Structure 1
Amino acid sequence: MLLSLLVFLLLLLLGMPVVFAIAIGGMVFFFQQPSLPLTMPAQLLLSETQNFSLLAIPAFILAGNLMNELGVTRRLILFARALTGHLRGGLAQVSVVLSLLMGGVSGSAIADATMQARILGPEMVKRGYTAAFVAALQGFTGLIVVAIPPSIGLILYGSIGQVSIGQLFAGGIGIGVLLALVYMVVVALLARVRGYLPELPQRPTLQETLPALWGGLWAVLFPILLLLALRTGVFVPSEVGAAAVVYALLVGAIYRELSWERVARAFKNSISDIGMVAFLIAASALLGYGMKWEMIPQSLSQFLVGMVEDPHVALAIILLGLLLLGTILDSTVMIILLTPILVPAAKALGLDLVHFGVLMVMTSALGLLTPPVGLSMYSVCSVMRCSVEAYIQEGWPFFVVVLGVLLLAYFFPSIVTFLPRLLF
């Protein structure tokens, strides 16, 4: 197994796309095991994508693309502007609130960060914000999407680790809201120092706010309805994804923006997004099988339990390792590869699997914004046409406050567990 992992890391360093590096590393393991037939890799590639609970992922991706195409995003921007446009750094504050609202729509940090950089970025630069600041802001606010349901990262963790996805969704809300609040504080402080002006001259009246609320109401209700459907048992996670697609079509019909052209474009965009995730899941089955064959999850559990008596210390070691690993691996890859290893270890240590899962997914996602392999970082820098160096200079305050939020959730687990215990 060691040779397989070394091949995988070497191919990554050489610049090979991560999905092919995973698949080749996994095949190396099977070539080393003459007792295992070479038909098994093909079977694993197919069987891994036929996990029933993973059906939620393509359904939520399609629902998010449908909402983007059917006018939901535009109405959410107007709603966010009505709520925070009168504050200092108004357009930046709008971006933070929009990410909180978009969590229930996109489910993807990269998609949300890239979309907001394209929509809000040019206008923010015209208002005096630097391109690097916009890139950092959009990248880090995209982390909110990882926490707010329907987070694809939480679905992957729950499906692979056999943890309640409904409880994970509820647990992520506390982190998402807390992130939004601290981002707004950072933006307000930077706006005061740099002289960023409000977007609106004064706080909108109730009569001005209500039309904006009505315009974005159906999208804002989406994560709430999703949790209620899971809590009441109306749908299981795989079914609620299909219901979300129907919901998105109904919202488009309510807004009178439903058309064959827009629906076809949403399906086209979803095919490429789903294909990328499915290919990663399939390829990771090869390395994952090798790890199980070598009993790496059990070995890690025994090592951590034997080395550290305090489970909180063990959790800190795991999260630190994830933070460092996130600098070289994509978060989706980390969740897919490491969940089968770390969940048994967390169980052996007596950790709450919902609290552990939310922290694991959020810590892994932070790697999307750090060099050298930060996909969100490169995406927003490309859209805003700024250097990575300038992005890092503008992004460090956001990085510090994200670490602060994760530390708070580590020391005070009720931030994550309060809502799941209340609802479930």
Structure 2
Amino acid sequence: MLIVSVAFFLLILIGMPVAFAIGISGALFFVQNPDLPFTIPVQVTISMTQNFALLAVPLFILAGNFMNKSGITEQLLNLASVMTGRWKGGLAQVSIALSALMGGVSGSAIADAAMQARMLGAGMLQRGMSKGFAAGVLSFGSLLTPVIPPGLGMILYGTIGQVSIGRLFAAGFAPALLLWAALGMTVWIVARRRGYPAERTARMPVREVGSALRGGLWALLFPVFLLVGLRMGVFTPSEIGAFAVVYAMFIGVFVYRKLRRASFLEALEGSLADVGSVMFLIALSAIFTYGIVLESVPDLVAEWIMAVTGGLNGAMLLIVLALLIAGFFIDSTVLIIMLTPIFLPLVKDLGGDPVHFGMVFIIAATIGNFTPPVGAAMYAVCSILRCPVGVYTRESVPFFLAVALVTLALVFFPGLVLFIPDLIFGAS
């Protein structure tokens, strides 16, 4: 597997699309082993796409695009402003609150970061905030989006690792609140030192607060309906995706009345591109995974980690460190698809809970979207705000430290992740 791994990183470094880099490097394993029929790569690629549980992926992507075109973003922005507008940091606090509220709508950190940079970036700069600070807030704040259900990372991890998606959905709420608190406090400290003002100075009238709550209610209820449906056995994880699509269309057409023919077609077009890229990546990753399993790579990695650490917490810390380093170069979706079959069996053997590990794994893998040299969310925000990457990196350090502290807390205190799933679904 050494040649396969080296080939993968070389192809990534020269700029080849990740899906092709995975597929080509995985195919090299069969070139090295002529005893294996070369029909296997074709077979495993096709069989991977026949996994019924993966039906949830395109359905939730379609639901997210319908939600985005339904006009719900403006309603959530208004609600976020009502909730946090009087806190120090003004629009920066509003941005983090909006990311938390958008979790049930988009599920993508990169999409959320780019959207918010266009919506709030110019306003933050007009209020005297530095480009680096604004870019750091908009980028790291979007970490909340994939942690709140139905994040795509949860669906991929749950499907690949055969972990309850319902429990993963429930497990996302507490970490998201902790991340929101940590990032909000960081913004407050920096804003107080630099004199960044609050967005609102007067108390909101009760009528306006009620109007904002009503406007954002349908989005807030979305993850609740998902959990209730799964807990009551009304839907399977695949069927809940179909419900999400129907729900998104209903509120877009009949509640907000902004999902018209043009926006409907735009949502379909965007979904086709998103689904195609994700499913193509999943299909070609099967070639890579076949070699990993055949060569007993998970067992070798487990032996090495056990020799270095000797315990669950040490192993999880080492995995988090490896994910942070890998995230400097590889997208979070790729990390989840490629590394779940390697790390999850190790954590299970050490007595770890797969849901607890899943949330830590998803957060650690997603952080790479906000760090140089290839962070996709970082480049999206910096490009829109025209912020140099060096300036962004320097001013994002406090946000990185805040997220790192929360991740460490989640590693050592599994109850922070598991108490809501245990409350809803019972102890595992």
Is the shorter-chain TM-score for this pair beyond 0.5, marking a shared fold? yes
- TM-score scaled by length of structure 1: 0.97
Aligned to 2:342: 341
Aligned to 2:27: 27
The residue identity in structure 1 corresponding to 2:278 is V
Deviation at 1:258, TM superposition (A): 2.8
Q: Deviations over 1:137-158 (max 9, x none)?
A: 1110111112110111111111
The residue identity in structure 2 corresponding to 1:223 is P
Find the residue that maps to 1:423 and give its secondary structure: helix
**Mapping of 1:250-265 within 5 angstroms?**
250-252=250-252, 253-265=254-266
CA distance in 1, matches of 2:118, 2:62: 20
Q: Does 1:150 align with 2:150?
A: yes
Q: Deviations over 1:107-144 (max 9, x none)?
A: 11111111111111122222222222221111101111
CA distance in 1, matches of 2:335, 2:149: 20
**Mapping of 1:315-394 within 5 angstroms?**
315-394=316-395
The residue identity in structure 2 corresponding to 1:418 is F
CA distance in 2, matches of 1:286, 1:201: 57
Contact 1:305 1:348 in 2 (8 A): no
Find the residue that maps to 2:172 and give its secondary structure: helix
Aligned to 2:297: 296
Q: Deviations over 1:175-218 (max 9, x none)?
A: 10111111111111222122212222212122110011101110
CA distance in 2, matches of 1:347, 1:402: 25
- Identify the range of structure 1 (197-206 vs 155-164) with the bigger mean alpha-carbon deviation: 197-206
**Mapping of 1:106-121 within 5 angstroms?**
106-121=106-121
Deviation at 1:317, TM superposition (A): 1.6
Contact 1:381 1:391 in 2 (8 A): yes
Find the residue that maps to 1:309 and give its secondary structure: coil
Aligned to 1:60: 60
Q: Deviations over 1:67-126 (max 9, x none)?
A: 111101111001111111122222111111100000011011111111111111122222
CA distance in 2, matches of 1:45, 1:7: 20
Q: Deviations over 1:320-373 (max 9, x none)?
A: 222222112111111100101111111111111111111011111111111112
Aligned to 2:314: 313
The residue identity in structure 2 corresponding to 1:182 is A
Q: Deviations over 1:286-315 (max 9, x none)?
A: 110110111112332344445543222222
The residue identity in structure 2 corresponding to 1:91 is L
CA RMSD of aligned residues (A): 1.3
C-alpha distance 182-307 of structure 1, shift in aligned 2 (>3 A): closer
CA distance in 1, matches of 2:391, 2:308: 41
Contact 1:301 1:348 in 2 (8 A): no
Q: Does 1:105 align with 2:105?
A: yes
Contact 1:132 1:384 in 2 (8 A): no
Gaps of 5+ in 2: none
Aligned to 1:407: 408
The residue identity in structure 2 corresponding to 1:408 is A
The residue identity in structure 1 corresponding to 2:72 is V
Contact 1:136 1:395 in 2 (8 A): yes
- Identify the range of structure 1 (50-59 vs 213-222) with the bigger mean alpha-carbon deviation: 50-59
Aligned to 1:159: 159
CA distance in 2, matches of 1:419, 1:227: 11
CA distance in 2, matches of 1:179, 1:36: 47
Aligned to 1:73: 73
Aligned to 1:275: 276
CA distance in 1, matches of 2:401, 2:301: 30
Deviation at 1:423, TM superposition (A): 0.7
Q: Does 1:197 align with 2:197?
A: yes
Contact 2:66 2:259 in 1 (8 A): no
CA distance in 2, matches of 1:294, 1:241: 35
**Mapping of 1:183-194 within 5 angstroms?**
183-194=183-194
Contact 1:311 1:351 in 2 (8 A): yes
Aligned to 2:8: 8
Aligned to 1:124: 124
The residue identity in structure 2 corresponding to 1:14 is I
Aligned to 1:38: 38
- TM-score scaled by length of structure 2: 0.96
Deviation at 1:53, TM superposition (A): 1.2
The residue identity in structure 2 corresponding to 1:40 is I
CA distance in 2, matches of 1:34, 1:352: 39
Deviation at 1:163, TM superposition (A): 0.6
CA distance in 1, matches of 2:234, 2:200: 42
- Identify the range of structure 1 (24-33 vs 120-129) with the bigger mean alpha-carbon deviation: 120-129
The residue identity in structure 2 corresponding to 1:353 is P
Deviation at 1:400, TM superposition (A): 0.4
Contact 1:59 1:241 in 2 (8 A): yes
CA distance in 2, matches of 1:420, 1:331: 24
Aligned to 1:215: 215
Find the residue that maps to 1:320 and give its secondary structure: helix
CA distance in 1, matches of 2:215, 2:319: 43
CA distance in 2, matches of 1:198, 1:304: 47
Contact 1:305 1:349 in 2 (8 A): no
Gaps of 5+ in 1: none
Q: Deviations over 1:34-86 (max 9, x none)?
A: 22222221222222122111111111111111111110111100111111112
Aligned to 2:424: 423
Contact 1:112 1:142 in 2 (8 A): yes
CA distance in 2, matches of 1:40, 1:165: 30
